[in-house]
């Protein structure tokens, strides 16, 4: 299968998501569905030792089109 299973939860909002993650070129892409049946995709790109970009996308048409809902640009904090 060359993939991994992810179970993510947000206990505050009672949101749970099962996803299947795979390496795609220089990215990590996780796909699944939410509790309404909409497709959800999280992608991690621009991955370096100290940073990465995380996009959260949703599709209401089975993955034909995607809408970006959130973008995080993360950077590792350096100790003071």
Q: Is the pTM of this model over 0.85?
A: no
* pLDDT per position as a tens digit, 12-59: 988 888 899 999 999 999 999 988 889 999 999 999 999 999 999 999
Euclidean distance between CA atoms 8 and 56, whole angstroms: 13
With DSSP H G I counted as helix, E B as strand and the rest as coil, what are the percentages for the chain, rounded to 5?
0, 60, 40
> What is the predicted pLDDT for the residue at 51?
95
Euclidean distance between CA atoms 39 and 1, whole angstroms: 20
> What is the predicted pLDDT for the residue at 23?
95
Angle, CA 55 vertex, CA 16 and CA 70 arms, to 5°: 75
Angle, CA 18 vertex, CA 12 and CA 19 arms, to 5°: 125
């Amino acid at each position: 299968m060359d993939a991994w299973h992810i179970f993510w939860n947000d206990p505050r909002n009672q949101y749970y998501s099962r996803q299947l993650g795979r390496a795609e070129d220089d990215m990590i892409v996780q796909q699944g569905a939410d509790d309404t049946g909409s497709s959800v995709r999280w992608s991690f790109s621009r991955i370096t030792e100290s940073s990465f970009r995380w996009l959260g996308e949703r599709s209401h048409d089975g993955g034909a089109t995607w809408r970006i809902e959130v973008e995080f640009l993360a950077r590792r904090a350096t100790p003071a």
